[in-house]
Amino acid sequence: MLKINKAKWLELFAALSAQGTLYVPANVDDKVDFTIWQNATEVDLQATQTAKSIKNIFFPQVENLLDFKTDGLKLSVEQRMLPEEATIAFGVRGCDVRSFEVLDKVFLKDPVDTFYKARRENCTIVSLACSAPDETCFCGTFAIDATNPGGDVTTWLVGDELFWQANTDKGSQLTEKVKTLLVEGDAAEVAAQQKATKEIMAKMPLADFKIAAKIPAEQEKVFNSTVWQQLSGTCLSCCACTYVCPTCHCYDVRDFEVDNKVERFRCWDSCMCKDFTKMAAVNPRVSRLERFRQRYMHKLVYFPENNEGTFACVGCGRCLQKCPVNLNIVKVAKALEVAKDV
């Protein structure tokens, strides 16, 4: 186990950023979000959660895929180059680390999404263990160990010391580059913090929250349950939950016309939107109930069915914090658990 004192973090960030574009959690506009590190960036390693997930590092909210150009009667198609930039995602919490595995199951499955794959391969993930979980956290529901979050390198913040441990070859290579800044640390200090954190986690209101086994098992009953009527009644059909969610991955592909050129881009989309999937004709889910149900069915039933039981939720709690009317996956799963018709 290695470590680095707070006094040297600036040097560490500078050294890391020399290896690639460095994303860090930092104070941006009165909230903590991942941002590209520069010398004056106020890195925040205390915040439990960034406002948005870091999925956009691999799956940007908007990206151009193709250009069509016309020159007289000649039409040319230019494919955008695959991203080659090396990146380092620093300070990623356990829930978000797990979310990459969920996204991999979508984008790396045949047909492979080459843009996603390139970005994923070019990135080294330096995770940060949680030591002060929030009441909205429920990563334990999905057997995620927030005190040992994984990734290529794991770090633990204990007082003013940042403990550092490489987990993969990629992680070891990165460690080599910053080795001169790191000193030997005592693993016992990390173990003590992990124990303390787990004790705090046990006190949290969602500590015992589990997704009832019958939910993914009883697809038809869940789908037809009368619970959706009550649950979806006050959903606004906005996309706040989708866009802050680390595992939501739907996108739309559209064309943008500029002069003699058409740019084909893709952008995040949400099954909560009325105009979802209209590129293929219509949105088959005409009512709010159907759209609401789809998002939760996908996360709790369809996704696990197609991916060896993995839920498309990592318990980060962002939807609990950001929904304008406080509807969220916990509320849905709890209502389904006690529903008489499921």
Partner 1 sequence: MQKIAELIKKEAESLLKEKKVTAVLAWQPGEFYYDNSPAYFTSLEQLDKLVYNEFCPANLSKYLMTGSKKKETMAIFAKPCDTYGINQLIKDHRVKRELITVIGIPCSGMIDIKKIKAQGVKGIISVAVEGEKVIVKTAYGEKTFNKTDILLAKCMSCKGSDYMIADKELGEKMEVKCQKLDPLAGVTKLEAMTSKERFAFWQEELSKCIRCNACRDICPACSCEQCIFDNQEAAVAGKASANTAEEQMFHIIRAYHVAGRCVGCGECARVCPQGIQLGLLNTKFSKDISMFYGKYQPGADTDSKAPLVDYKFDDVEPTISAKGGR
Q: Which positions touch partner 1 (CB under 8 A)?
A: 29-31, 48, 51-52, 61-62, 132-136, 200, 203-206, 230, 233-234, 236-240, 242-244, 252, 254, 256, 265, 267-269, 273-275, 278-279, 320, 322, 324-327, 330-331
Smaller CB separation from partner 1, 182 or 335:
335
Distance (Å, whole) CA 285 – CA 245: 21
DSSP state of 43: B
Please state the closest distance from residue 37 (CB atom) to partner 1, in A.
19
Other beta carbons less than 10 A from residue 51's beta carbon: 17
Nearer to partner 1, 61 or 172 (CB): 61
Residue 3 or 291: which CB sits closer to partner 1? Answer: 291
DSSP H or E stretch at residue 296: helix 288-297
Name the nearest CA neighbour of 44 among 30, 65, 62, 59: 30
Least CB distance to partner 1 at residue 289 (A): 11
Identify which of residues 15 and 28 has a Cβ nearer to partner 1 in the complex.
Answer: 28
Nearer to partner 1, 29 or 169 (CB): 29
How many residues belong to the chain?
A: 342
**Residue closer to partner 1 (CB basis): 15 or 207:** 207
Cis upstream peptide for 304 (omega within 30°): no
DSSP one-letter string for 72-107? TTEEEEEEPPPP---EEEEEE-HHHHHHHHHHHHHH
Whether the Cβ atoms of residue 271 and residue 250 lie closer than 8 Å to each other = yes
Q: Least distance in Å: CB of 240 to partner 1?
A: 4
Q: How far is the CB of 238 from partner 1 (least distance, A)?
A: 4
Based on CB atoms, which residue is closest to partner 1, 35 or 219? Answer: 35
Please, are residues 165 and 336 in contact by the beta-carbon 8 Å criterion?
A: no
Going by their DSSP bridges, the two strands 251-258 and 31-36 should be labelled as unpaired
Sign, CA dihedral 325-328-332-337, equals negative
Find the shortest distance in angstroms from Cβ 200 to partner 1. Answer: 5
Minimum CB distance to partner 1, residue 236 (Å): 4
Q: Report the nearest approach of partner 1 to the CB of residue 19 (Å).
A: 28
CA distance 310 to 298: 11
